[in-house]
Amino acid sequence: MQMQYFDIKEFDCQETGTNEMSPFFLEKLDYLRHQCGFPFKITSGYRDPSHSIEARKTRPGTHARGIAADIQINSGSEGYVIVREAMKMGLGGIGIAKNFIHVDMRDTVQVIWTY
């Protein structure tokens, strides 16, 4: 799969190096980057089920399903634009932290939370 703004390796599991990202989700993320109009860094993409965070869960999370990414933010205004555009696109899960925004493509109604 060819992305305009990202290299697939940016989404590799940080503990195992594996990568089972959904191509459809990556297309959405590439479009999100386009709509935001500024570059951003992926701090967490795919997490293998054996990843220390995922291994503590009772069932695999959206990162382990290849349909989530955490995006580093450098300011509140960047975070606002990412959240606004992700909501417009219908991304199902949006988590807001001080220095990153989590976006995912879950199958439920849109949800938003803070860390």
- Find the Cα–Cα–Cα–Cα dihedral 58, 87, 103, 1, rounded to 10°: 120
- Give residue 76's domain range: 22-114
Q: Answer yes or no: is 58 within a domain.
A: yes
| Within-domain flag for 96 | yes
Task: Round the average pLDDT of the chain to a whole number and report it.
Answer: 95
User: Residue 8 domain-assigned?
Assistant: no
Contact of 48 with 64, CB cutoff 8 Å: yes
Write down the pTM of the prediction.
0.94
Q: In this structure, which amino acid lies at residue 100? A: F
- Res 2: pLDDT: 82
| Assigned domain for 66 exists | yes
Label the pairing between strands 68-72 and 42-44. Answer: antiparallel
Question: Residue 84 contacts by C-beta under 8 Å, 6 or more apart in sequence?
Answer: none
Domain membership flag for residue 75: yes
What CATH number is given to the structural domain containing 94? 3.30.1380.10
Give the pLDDT confidence of 15-56 residue by residue, as tens digits.
999 999 999 999 999 999 999 999 999 999 999 999 999 999
CB 21 within 8 A of CB 8: yes
**Domains: count for the chain:** 1
